[in-house]
Each structure stands twice: as C-alpha cells, then as structure tokens.
C-alpha cells in the first residue's frame, strides 16, 4: 500500500514538472523554445575579401542566393577559429582593431527581425592580416627657398619614385646631420638662432597602411647673421615654389621702396650684371631648365644687398585619355615634368579588346608606362582590337574571332551545318545583299556576320513565273509567316501559314483610290507577311460602308490563273516588289502604287516606281483619295 502511494506521488510531481517546463517555454530537455510564430532566417552567401592591412579586414556585402522573404538584413562576425562567434555580430563589413599577422574567419548571417530568426551562419572566410605596415615612399632632398636670421623655408619635397600609399610629406631640422625626433607638416622653420648651421630633412609621413619613410639627406642651411637694418629686403615671389602648371607667371617684389631686383633662372647666383626684373615681363615657367631655379637679389644705392632668394619650380601637366568610344578614363593631374605615370584601369568597350595606350591618333607609337616620361600636356589614345561574331541562325555554333587588328582580313571560320538546309555563305546583314569575302574584306570595327541558308526543296527562283501566272519577286529560304485573319467560319477567314515566295500579278488591276477618307482603320501593319491580313481587314471595314471599287477591294477580288488568294501588298512587301521591278517579265509602269498600310486617317503608304525608293526611307504617304495603280500579289 505504501509503495503504491509513493508511485502515485512521483507521477504527480512529473506532471507538475512538465507543466512548469511548458509554462517557462522550455522543451522536454529543458532547452529554451523558439518564440512562437517566427520562421527560419534566410541563408546568405559567403563573404568575399575586398581589402585588408595589418589591423583591419573589409569584405563585400553578402547576398541572399535563395531570396529574402522576410526582408531581413545581413550581419557579420569574426573569430580566430573556424566557428561562428556567439556574440559580437555587427552590421558593418569592416573589422578594425585586429592583431597583426593573425588568421581570422569572417562569417555572415541574416539578422533576426520581428518575423524571422537569425539565419544559419555562412561558411567562414579565412583571412590573415598583414604582417606589418608597408615601407614609406622615398622623397627628394628639400631645396632652400629663403632664409633670414631666424627662419628657413624650403620647397615642398616630391616623390621621385611614386607614392603608392597616398602619403604626405613632413619636415624636420637639426643642428647636426642626423634626422631629428620631431617633425612638422610646414616647410618653414621659425624661432631659429642667427648665424647657425642647420640641416633640413624630409620624409613620407606615416598613415594607416604605410610607415614613415626613411629621411632624406639633410640639406645644410646657415641662418643669416643678426638682422642688418641697412640691408635691402629680400625679394619674394607671388606664387610659392614647388609644382606649378606650365605657363605660370612668376612676379618678384621687395618691400624696400626704390630697390632693383636682379635674377637668374639657371640656378646661378645673381649679381648686378644679371637680368633686371620688371613686373611687365613676368618670368614664365616653361619646359626649359627643368626644374627652373629662380634666384634673385634686391639692391638699393647706399644699402647692403639683400640675401639671395631661391625658388625652385617644376612644371606640372595633365595627362588625358581618349578612350576612342570606350568607357571614360579619368585624367591624371599635376604630373611633374619628367615623371612617369601609373597606368590607369583599362577602359571597356562592347565586343572589343583593349590593346594599350598610344601617343598618336594613328595608333602607331605605344606609350610605355615604365619608361616614357611626361614633358608636356599629353593626350593618350586607346587602341582597340576588334571581334567578329558569327550568327549561324539556327545552325551549329561558330566561335567568334577576337583580337583582330584594325584593317586586317580574317580567316574563314568553320562552316556551320543545319538540318535540311545548305550553307550559302556569310553576309554583312540579314537582308543578305552583301556577301563577306574573307580574302579581300577587312575588319574596321567589331561586327556580326550572318549565315545565309539555302533551302534545296524550294523550286522557284526570283524571276520565275509563279503558279498564278505572275512573276516571283521574293524568295525566303527559311520562310516567313503570313498573318491570319478572323475566326473560322467568318467571311474572309484564313489561318496563319508559312510562305517562301511572293508573286506579283501579271498585270495591273487599274487605278483606284485607297478609300476610308478621314477614317483610321485599326489593325493594319507595314511589315512583311501582313498584306493579306491588311486587305481582309480593309475589306471588312468597307462591307459596312457604301464605298466600292477601292484599292484593297479590287486586289482581294483579283483572279489570275486559277488563284484567288491575291491581296494588296503591305508597305514592306511593296518595297520588295519595287526593289525587283526591273526583273524580266515584271512590267510595271513608272507610276505610284498603293500599299495596304496606312499612316493616319487621311494618308496611306505608296511607292513611286519611277524613283529608286527603299524601305525605311519612305515617300511621304499620300491622301487616300488619290487614284493610284493597284497591283495584287500573293504569298505561298
């Protein structure tokens, strides 16, 4: 009895425990259940590395390869082992503050929102941070611009071998020929001691990716003795020394009234025998004596000559890129005289292959970015190699020919095949009027050639007498669709069918107006294969009017031979007839012929067979009331 009660007591406790788990949102194992109603998060792609350095990694924005029904965003995490982190997920794609030369794994997952859980993390992208910052770029030795008893100014140093890390330049001074511990961005040092020797240094400044560069050789400069009150003021320039555009005008001035300025441009020290400066004749920065070193002194009677001013100018140029119908390429600005330039990203052009930058429009002299230097404002021209593609039009595929030099011939490609057709050559367009001669024709642009297929089962040729007693004026090897009209059982009905020929009636059906004045008949077309439908549509309109003996009515009623399926041609079909009107057996007067195509409620298309017209450059449509010739045709 006691054992039975004990078992019952244990069962009650189990029920209570189960209820407690249910109320707390836990499953049978005590794990927390997912909030009711949320769905599984969408899967995302693996991140792809964009850039990294010694302390940061940037990846691309991941995507939702299978869709994103819950409108979730994507968050990113990192770890030093290939296991998704439990916390620390972020919205940004850049991770900073990382350790040098350390392997990390970058994950992505869809972010939890009101209706969806966070998705399963992607596979980890393995990325190792760089071992250290890259070495700073080398810089030139500073050159003295001016000095006095307590200050020294040097020119802005340059990067003679390029500046791949986008660094700036900083400057330092010391009284011994050893680089200092303290550096500044400015090129002027003040608060110096009079008549004291200094060494001025330059180096590339540390940034996020590059260390500070090695200091340049020290430039020795001795400050002037204590200021002589009788000394003429040293000349100054209107534009600071350094890199300036070619053609820049330099003016020299002094604060000493009545003083005369003497100068040189070849780096020699000026004397009172040197050129006298005049504001009406400024010094022009040119490509002569590059870099141009201007030295100047100012003199005045009874006073001590000024100290020598030195200003060094290097011409800078712009290099522009003419991509010759390719994508735009940004110009390179402020290029120092005598410098090489970095090759820009290549432009793109559909169906063309980029073949380098050239110095001339004739594309005969290539620009060598490793060797050629810029000595003037420069335009470089893109050279493109061409591609010829082959449209086999339902036949076996033919590979394109690429990297074709302009003006070159090309080899004949492998001949395609097509069931039930014979190969008829390659043509420049689908009108098949101009065949491509591979031995003679040259490629002057990227283009497509089209195969012509010949249907050996066709029995009529252009110019032959057709089944209706007229002349065949158009043959289509592959056939064209004649658009059907109406519904079965209704007047004029016929189903769409494939035709290979157009035949013109052996004689005219006389002249007639087009009709339907001031009325626009819907459903008419100008295209090949629509003339018969146009004719039935027009005839159906006239059946509900009192108009008779109109062009379309006459053509529809025509009977030649034993055929009664004649119609008034569409504008395109009439143009094909016009193109072949000189064939033997086609005797059409030099007159205007109506088509079954209209332009508006007042005018319809016609062609004057007395003039060489072509489709696409039509004669002006004419008033529907004019009397023009009616020639019926048929399609079979």
Report, as an integer, the average pLDDT of 433-462: 94
Residue pair 60/50 in contact (Cβ under 8 Å)? The answer is: yes
Q: Tell me, yes or no, if the pTM score tops 0.85.
A: no
Residue pair 555/567 in contact (Cβ under 8 Å)? The answer is: yes
Specify the CATH architecture of the domain 39-132: Sandwich (2.60)
Query: What is the helix, strand, coil percentage profile of the chain, to 5?
Result: 10, 30, 60
Residue 101, classed as helix, strand or coil, is: coil
Task: Classify the phi-psi angles of 629: left when phi > 0, otherwise alpha if psi is within -120 to 50, otherwise beta.
Answer: beta
Per-residue pLDDT of 376-409, as tens digits, reads: 999 999 999 999 999 999 999 999 999 999 999 9
Helix or strand holding residue 553 (H, E): helix 551-556
Per-residue pLDDT of 315-371, as tens digits, reads: 889 999 999 999 999 999 989 888 899 999 999 999 899 999 999 999 999 999 999
**DSSP string of 363-412?**
--SB--TTT--B-S-EEEEEEEEEEEEEE-TTS-----EEEEPTTB--PP
Per-residue pLDDT of 92-112, as tens digits, reads: 999 999 988 899 999 999 999
pLDDT for 194? 87
Look at residue 440 and tell me whether its pLDDT is greater than 80: yes
Q: Are strands 378-391 and 309-322 parallel, antiparallel or unpaired?
A: parallel
Q: What are phi and psi of 257, to 5 degrees?
A: -65, 135
Report, as an integer, the average pLDDT of 203-225: 91
- The domain spans of the chain are 1-33, 39-132, 134-227, 471-635
Per-residue pLDDT of 491-544, as tens digits, reads: 889 999 999 999 999 999 999 999 999 999 999 999 999 999 999 999 999 999
Topology of the domain covering 134-227: Immunoglobulin-like (2.60.40)
- Please check whether the two domains, 39-132 and 134-227, share a CATH topology: yes
Look at residue 20 and tell me whether its pLDDT is greater than 80: no
């Amino acid at each position: 009895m006691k054992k039975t009660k004990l078992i019952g007591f244990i069962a009650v406790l189990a029920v209570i425990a189960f209820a407690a788990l249910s109320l707390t949102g836990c499953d049978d194992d005590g794990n927390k259940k997912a909030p009711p109603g949320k769905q599984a998060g969408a899967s995302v792609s693996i991140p792809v590395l964009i850039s990294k350095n010694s302390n940061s990694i940037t990846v691309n924005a991941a995507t939702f390869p299978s869709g994103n029904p819950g409108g979730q965003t994507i968050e990113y995490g990192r770890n030093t082992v290939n296991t998704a982190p439990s916390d620390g997920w972020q919205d940004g794609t850049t991770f900073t503050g990382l350790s040098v030369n350390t392997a990390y794994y970058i994950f992505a997952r869809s972010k939890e929102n009101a209706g969806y859980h966070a998705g399963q993390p992607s596979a980890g992208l393995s990325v190792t941070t760089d071992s250290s910052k890259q070495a700073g770029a080398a810089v030139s030795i500073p050159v003295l611009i001016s000095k006095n008893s307590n200050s020294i100014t040097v020119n802005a140093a340059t990067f003679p071998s390029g500046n791949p890390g986008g660094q700036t330049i900083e400057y330092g001074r010391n009284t011994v020929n050893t680089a200092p511990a303290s550096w500044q961005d400015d090129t002027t040092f003040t608060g110096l001691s009079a008549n004291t020797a200094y060494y001025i240094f330059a180096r590339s400044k540390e940034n996020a990716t590059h260390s500070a560069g090695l200091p340049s050789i020290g430039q020795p400069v001795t400050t002037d003795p204590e200021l002589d009150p009788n000394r003429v003021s040293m000349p100054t320039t209107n534009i600071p020394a350094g890199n300036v555009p070619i053609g820049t005008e330099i003016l020299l001035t002094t604060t000493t009234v009545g003083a005369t300025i003497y100068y040189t441009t070849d780096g020699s020290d000026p004397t009172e025998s040197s050129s006298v400066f005049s504001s009406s004749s400024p010094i022009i920065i040119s490509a002569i004596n590059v870099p141009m070193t201007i030295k100047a002194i100012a003199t005045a009677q009874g006073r001590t000559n000024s100290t020598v001013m030195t200003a060094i100018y290097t011409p800078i140029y712009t290099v522009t890129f003419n991509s010759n119908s390719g994508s735009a390429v940004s110009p390179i600005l402020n290029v120092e005289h005598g410098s090489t330039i970095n090759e820009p990203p290549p432009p793109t052009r559909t169906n063309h292959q980029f073949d380098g930058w050239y110095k001339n429009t004739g594309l005969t002299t290539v620009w060598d970015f490793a060797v050629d230097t810029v000595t003037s404002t420069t335009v470089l021209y893109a050279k493109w190699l061409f591609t010829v593609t082959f449209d086999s039009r339902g036949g076996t595929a033919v590979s394109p020919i690429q990297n074709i030099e302009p003006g070159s011939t090309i080899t004949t490609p492998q001949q395609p095949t097509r069931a039930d057709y014979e190969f008829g050559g390659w043509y420049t367009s689908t009108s098949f009027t101009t065949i491509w001669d591979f031995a003679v024709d040259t490629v002057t642009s990227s283009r497509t050639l089209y195969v012509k297929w010949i249907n050996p089962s066709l029995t009529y040729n252009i110019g032959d007498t057709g089944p209706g007693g007229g002349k065949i004026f158009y043959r289509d090897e592959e056939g064209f669709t004649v658009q059907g009209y109406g519904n079965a059982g209704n007047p004029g009905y016929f189903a769409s069918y494939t035709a290979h020929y157009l035949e013109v009636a052996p004689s005219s059906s006389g002249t007639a107006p087009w009709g339907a004045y001031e009325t626009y008949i819907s459903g008419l077309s100008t295209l090949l294969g629509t003339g018969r439908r146009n004719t039935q549509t027009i005839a159906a309109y006239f059946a509900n009017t009192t108009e008779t003996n109109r062009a379309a009515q006459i053509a529809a009623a025509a009977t030649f031979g034993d055929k009664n399926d004649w119609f008034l041609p569409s504008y395109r079909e009439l143009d094909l007839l016009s193109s072949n009107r000189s064939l033997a057996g086609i005797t059409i007067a030099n007159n205007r012929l109506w088509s079954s195509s209209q332009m508006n409620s007042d005018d319809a298309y016609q062609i004057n067979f007395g003039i060489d017209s072509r489709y696409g450059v039509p004669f002006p449509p004419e008033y529907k009331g004019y009397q023009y010739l009616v020639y019926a045709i048929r399609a079979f």
